Amino acid sequence: MAATRAALTLWRRLAALLGSLLGGVLAVGGAARAADLPEDSAEALLHVYTGGGVTAWGPAFLVRKSVADRFSITGSYYLDAVSNASIDVVTTASKYKESRHEYALSADYVYRDSQITIGVNTSREPDYTADRARIDISQEVFGGMTTVSLGFTRGADKVRKKDSPEFSDEARHWQYRLGVSQILTPRWIMSANVEAIADDGYLGSPYRAALVFGAAVPERNPRTRSARSLMLRVKGDLGSRDAMHASYRYYRDTWEIKGHTLELGYSRYFGDAWLADTYLRYHTQSAALFYSDNATSETVYVSRNRQLSPFDNASLGAKVAWTWRKVPGKYEVKVNGAYEYMHFKFKDFTDLRTGSRYAHGASILQLFVTGTF
Amino acid sequence: MTPRSRSGRALCALAIAAATLASPLAGGAIAPQSAAPDFTLRTMSGPNLRLAEQRGRVVMVNFWATWCGPCRQEMPHLDRLYQKYKSSGFVLLGVNVDDDARKAADVAAKLGVTFPMLLDTDKAVSKLYDLSTMPSTVIIDRDGKVRYFHRGYLAGYEDNYDKQIRELLR
Amino acid sequence: MSTPARAGLALAAAMLLGGCSSFSVPTVEPWVKPYERERLADPIMRFSRGALAERHAEHVRDVREGSRGATGVQGGGCGCN
């Protein structure tokens, strides 16, 4: 199968690169520079997403602790209570509620200039289980000005369908990451990240219907998908206790979706204890080859999944952080709030209730406390 | 050669090249047993302090910054070494490289540091000693010669410092 | 790749590996010294304000948009249907 062969090629290339880097890690002697072990920290978050008839909210917790000066262990729990009355659900079924629990555990190990992280993650819904295992290696080179990182994630999902015990399918995922972060000047840093994703198996939703000649049929997606993504980011200190960042991501996959994402942001300190960020984000994408709002021919694959349709998403966001207590070198506790308003404009998806092109707004709200020790 | 192994080999070469660039970049101006470059800096308490005036004592110069984690971790250990050997002809000079001297004084006070703190805000002495890592700890013998140059800090380094100071004090 | 190109790549690799001193290829020294990194170490210069918050925002975007990946956020799982 094309996806497996492509995955194997990438894996061989990455294994070779990994081997060389590891060899480099062991060979580099002399300089006792150490990459810093991540600080001990604890976070608690309340997250809310609401938009397009869907509300998902819940708490999340994270604890990170260093062990024996070399390892850092992180554990987190994330709950998503989803109340779904989205346009898909409302026009073809009735609204539903369900909860998703996600548990993650990872360990970081620092050796000289390198850091190795391994992690596992499991996400559980009544009808969908997703497991991930990952490894990331990062190495500081060139006097610490450049950091090269490699990562690999392997995922395995089990898909079920509520009230249909006979439906059972799987999906497998491979993600390969390569990143370079480069200090440009004492005030500017840039990074480039490349990711290749390969998916195999059941890649759709057993609840979603496509429209063919006006009639609802269960959607038919290809069983493989291969994607490439490149993100360039730059961040700079502007000199008067403020900073700006800009990023661009290009995405392309074998389903013929091409996406461009642009983000521009500005941050500023106010007084001793306040930090505010604001940003503009714009995302635009083209349709998947087999996407159709209302298919007028019989094709092997057909889908009316909005996520695969051509659309624009423009958003404006703001974040605020207040330092509650700070003892430099000992601990720091911050209280944060973040809000983002997104506006989705679909170019080829009809709102069946009104007959016009569908558009909706959405909001993300986050309230969280972070402590570093 | 198949396309796969061609690009694989190119990637290998790139990675090895990157790793090679990471190889120890020479500590520059400071060769072992060479004279320690002299400098005069203002202390946090006000008056200037000159390195050459410390001739006859074993001097440890520790370059640090408030924004550097391992530097702060190292401080309490250095303070202990200072208290232990100061009456035997040992002096520990902390050289801070922050842009903001007030922040440096604040953090030094919070860490409970008792040894003299010098301010290198314009980074002239850091450049003179060609620092390649933060923190950097230089141990100078009674004749003003650089004997040990420690780059970075990892737990356990303070035991090495202890041994080396004791050896030079004899 | 043709033989001359292969030879060229091997030579370039050898020069880099063999150390530039013997070939007088100009070496590039890191131009930002470790004691000049104060601005970059400031929390304002971090790409993320909180690991969980970043993961949440990334999850929302992964579910709602067709583009994925390359963001450097370690996420996982799904809320795909």
In a domain, A1, yes or no: no
- According to DSSP, the residues that pair with A179 across neighbouring strands are A149, A193
Q: Which amino acid is at B94?
A: G
User: Is residue C21 within 8 angstroms of chain B, CB to CB?
Assistant: no
pLDDT > 70? residue A244: yes
pLDDT > 60? residue A16: no
The pLDDT value recorded for residue A94 is 65
pLDDT > 80? residue A95: no
Report the candidate in A61, A202, A30 with the shortest Cα–Cα distance to residue A130: A202
**What's A137's domain CATH number?**
2.40.160.40
Residue bearing the bigger pLDDT, A247 or B103: A247
Contact assessment for residue B71 and residue B154, using Cβ atoms and an 8 Å cutoff: no
pLDDT > 80? residue A185: yes
CA B54 to chain centre: 18
pLDDT > 60? residue B24: no
The pLDDT value recorded for residue A11 is 58
The upper half-sphere exposure of residue C67, i.e. CA atoms within 13 Å in the direction of its Cβ, equals 24
**Which of A:3-22 have CB within 8 Å of C?**
none
pLDDT > 90? residue B136: yes
- Sign of the dihedral through C-alpha A180, A184, A189, A192: negative
The pLDDT value recorded for residue A156 is 96
Ramachandran bin of A340, using left for φ above 0, alpha for ψ from -120 to 50, beta for the remaining angles: beta
pLDDT > 90? residue A317: yes
Angle (CA) A234-A236-A238 rounded to 5° is 150
Contact between C78 and A123 using a beta-carbon 8 Å cutoff: yes
Which residues of chain B lie closer than 8 angstroms to C12, CB-CB? 13
Structure tokens at A73: 């262990």
Q: How far is CA B80 from CA B84, B105, B113, B159, in A?
A: 6, 19, 9, 11
pLDDT > 90? residue A245: yes
The pLDDT value recorded for residue C19 is 43
Which residues of chain A lie closer than 8 angstroms to C76, CB-CB? 102, 104, 121-123, 130, 132, 134, 153, 155
Model confidence band, residue A326 (pLDDT cutoffs 50, 70, 90): confident
How high does pLDDT run on average in chain B?
83
- Sign of the dihedral through C-alpha C4, C8, C13, C19: positive
Model confidence band, residue C73 (pLDDT cutoffs 50, 70, 90): confident
Report the candidate in A76, A303, A289, A332 with the shortest Cα–Cα distance to residue A209: A303
Q: How far is CA A242 from CA A265, A339, A359, C14, C48, in A?
A: 11, 20, 35, 44, 15
Q: Which residue range forms the structural domain that includes residue A317?
A: 39-372
In a domain, A19, yes or no: no
How many domains does chain A fold into? 1
A239-247 CB contacts, 8 Å cutoff, 24+ apart:
A239/A187, A241/A268, A241/A269, A241/C44, A242/A266, A242/A267, A242/A268, A242/A269, A242/C44, A243/A267, A243/A268, A243/C44, A243/C45, A245/A279, A245/C47
pLDDT per residue over C18-59, tens digit each? 444 445 556 788 899 889 999 998 889 988 889 999 999 999
In a domain, A12, yes or no: no
Contact between B63 and C35 using a beta-carbon 8 Å cutoff: yes
How high does pLDDT run on average in chain A?
89
Task: Give the DSSP per-residue string, B155-166.
Answer: TTHHHHHHHHHH
Q: What gap in Å lies between CA C39 and CA C44, rounded to an integer?
A: 9
Most confidently predicted of A31-35, A244-248, C34-38: A244-248
pLDDT per residue over B46-105, tens digit each? 899 999 999 999 999 999 999 888 898 899 999 999 999 999 999 999 999 999 899 899
pLDDT per residue over A40-66, tens digit each? 999 999 999 999 989 999 999 999 999
Alpha helices, DSSP H only, in chain B?
3-21, 69-85, 101-110, 124-128, 157-169
pLDDT per residue over A292-315, tens digit each? 999 999 999 999 999 999 999 999
What b/e sequence results for A270-285 when a residue is b if at least 16 CB atoms lie within 10 Å of its CB, and e otherwise? Answer: eeeeebebebebebbb
Q: What gap in Å lies between CA A260 and CA A343, rounded to an integer?
A: 16
The pLDDT of A253-258, averaged and rounded, is 96
Which residues of chain A lie closer than 8 angstroms to B132, CB-CB? 31, 33, 143
The pLDDT value recorded for residue B50 is 93
pLDDT > 70? residue A70: yes
Q: What are the sequence ranges of the domains in chain B? A: 27-169
pLDDT > 90? residue C14: no
The upper half-sphere exposure of residue A216, i.e. CA atoms within 13 Å in the direction of its Cβ, equals 10
Percent of chain A, pLDDT > 70?
89
Alpha helices, DSSP H only, in C1-81?
3-17, 38-41, 51-64
Residue A291: helix, strand or coil by DSSP?
A: strand
Test the B interface: residue of C15, C28, C35 with most B CBs within 10 Å: C35
The pLDDT value recorded for residue A31 is 40
Contact between A128 and C81 using a beta-carbon 8 Å cutoff: yes
Q: What gap in Å lies between CA A146 and CA B70, rounded to an integer?
A: 20
Residue bearing the bigger pLDDT, B112 or A363: A363
Nearest CA in chain A to B152: A33
In a domain, A10, yes or no: no
Percent of chain A, pLDDT > 90?
74
Contact between A275 and C74 using a beta-carbon 8 Å cutoff: no
pLDDT > 90? residue A171: yes
Q: For the domain with range B27-169, which CATH number is right: 3.40.30.10, 1.10.760.10, 3.30.565.10, 1.25.40.340? A: 3.40.30.10
pLDDT > 90? residue B20: no
Which residues of chain B lie closer than 8 angstroms to C45, CB-CB? none
Report the candidate in A36, A19, A145, A45 with the shortest Cα–Cα distance to residue A102: A45
